[in-house]
Amino acid sequence: MNFETTAGAFDEVRRARAIAEFAEWQLIARHHDRRVAEIDRSDDIVLSKELARREVTLEIAQALRVTERHVWAIVSETETLRERTPEVWEAFGRGDLDAGRASAIAYTAERLTRAESWLALARSAVQYAATHTVGELRSWLRRLRERLEPEQTAIERARALEERRVSITHNDDGTSWLNALLPTGVAIAVGERLRRAAKALPAIDPETDERDRRTRDQKQADLVAHWLTSCTGTGTDVRAEIAISIAATDLIGLTDGPGIALDGEPIGSEWVRELAQSEHTLFRRLVLDPRGRVLDTTVLRYRPTEDLRQALRWRDGTCRVAGCRAPASGTDQDHAVAYDSGGQTSGDNLRCLCRKHHNMKSHGHLAERHLAPPAQWSEQYAMPASASLT
């Protein structure tokens, strides 16, 4: 059986599973609506009616062997999709979307406040959701919401920042979890600094001449412990590279779209503007084709220049394998056509692959069909400007 036949079989199974999930949601919603309508028509007191509604949820949950919270989430999300984004509900019914994707879209629809925003969501979300993973969809939906209602998201971001904190949870084995709730931009900068610092550590300990056998995660954990126990000061020094992919109206404050980190996460425009005023910030001009793909320069040698590497990272954002979220900053630059076979070291022939997928490709186990196209930095509603934080 060839791959096309197998892929068709997989798609049939995926669609059948999605239709079955839709049938479950629809059954739950119809039963819940019918029973609640009967309760509301009764002459019972308000408290009795409320308790009776809860009993309906409990009955459904026990019949399905799930929690009451799960049932209530389905009831609420079904109502949201049917009322605010009926096109999404219809796509769910056809099997174009599964429950996970429908739930992610409903979560966004619940937080949008304007009818025109619901319409924009419904028009664009189905196509994107049908061709991307749930993780990619959630990231895209966050960017979309930032673009559609920047004022509301700015209010929520300011409120959330008031909750920033650090907590420590002790385990029973002599370890503890150190958790920090930080602004997204700062968290990205922390992660990037940790990655670079861990990568820069010498392979041989200069004091003992022994090989450093720590994993990357162990090195990063040790660096955090060292920094927090040996450093002083309260200033935050975030160094950024800002790539302007369309007119810079968002950057200068004429419009209010979000900045976008390389991993696709939206960052508040006010914070990007603040970064733009730093003496350490590097601006990079991205030349885009009409579809939002980055155009870059050909060089005639095997290893790409650092400028080309950076351009490739901006173009791809993550590993180019569809569904892989490995950040481009930690990937290899792979030649689609091998250099030894005449392949050029150029943007047309290079793509970012994480080490796992690069190894698979090198050994003949990564077909072109597994790759996604480069990121479209100018996709509708998604991103006017991008910031890489270091």
Instruction: Delineate the domains of the chain, giving CATH numbers in brackets.
Output: 3-131 (no CATH), 294-370 (1.10.30)
Which residues, in sequence order, are CB contacts of 108 under 8 Å at separation 6+? 121, 125, 141, 142, 144, 145
More confident residue, 200 or 363: 200
CA-angle at 220, arms to 215 and 225, nearest 5° = 125
Confidence of residue 301 (pLDDT cuts 50, 70, 90): very low
* Residue keyed to tokens 């949870």: 169
Above 60 in pLDDT, residue 377? no
Eight-class DSSP state of 215: -
pLDDT score at 302: 45
pLDDT score at 284: 56
How far is residue 314 from each of residues 12, 139, 286, measured CA to CA in Å?
36, 17, 8
CA 243 to chain centre: 19
Confidence of residue 368 (pLDDT cuts 50, 70, 90): confident
Both tokens of residue 338? 């091998």
Above 50 in pLDDT, residue 32? yes
Confidence of residue 97 (pLDDT cuts 50, 70, 90): very high
Helix (H, G, I), strand (E, B) or coil at 333: strand
Provide the pairing of β-strand 294-295 with 287-288.
antiparallel
For the segment 292-319, the average pLDDT, to the nearest whole number, is 66
Element (H, E) at 314: helix 306-316
- Say if CB 383 and CB 258 are below 8 A apart: yes
Check: pTM over 0.85? Answer yes or no: no
Both tokens of residue 22? 């839709």
What secondary structure, in 3-state letters, does 19-85 show?
Answer: HHHHHHHHHHHHHHHHHHHHHHHCCCCHHHHHHHHHHHHHHHHHHHCCCHHHHHHHHHHHHHHHHHC
